[in-house]
Amino acid sequence: VQLQAFGGGLVQAGDSLRLSCVVSTRPYSSWVMGWFRQAPGKEREYVGAIRWSNGYTYYPDSVKDRFTISRDRAEYTVYLQMDRLKPEDTAVYYCAVAGGLSNRGSEYFYWGQGTLVTVSS
């Protein structure tokens, strides 16, 4: 199983950006697709997840009013819509797969390669 994340780039504060994560095979209904980010010099941070089966989404308080996760079942793709971006959102963003809902990176067993998002002030 391979995950390919793309869509990152350089944006200004207040802009929006949508990241995509394509899964190479049909996801199992039990899978949870998560998004994480890691800023330079900081630990990896959970930014949300979606259940592949029913589309239920989960977010940490830090991003829940600005980030939205969705999926396209036909395209095996998960999206991370990021609105009102801030400079502190600058990070490499990763998508990953877990067998159940979790905000811990150690619970995810497939990872994409990451895509860099840079937000200028």
pLDDT of residue 69: 98
pLDDT of residue 19: 98
pLDDT of residue 98: 97
With 0-12 CB in 10 A as exposed, 13-18 as middle and 19+ as buried, what is 5?
buried
pLDDT of residue 15: 98
- Per-residue pLDDT of 65-91, as tens digits, reads 999 999 999 999 999 999 999 999 999
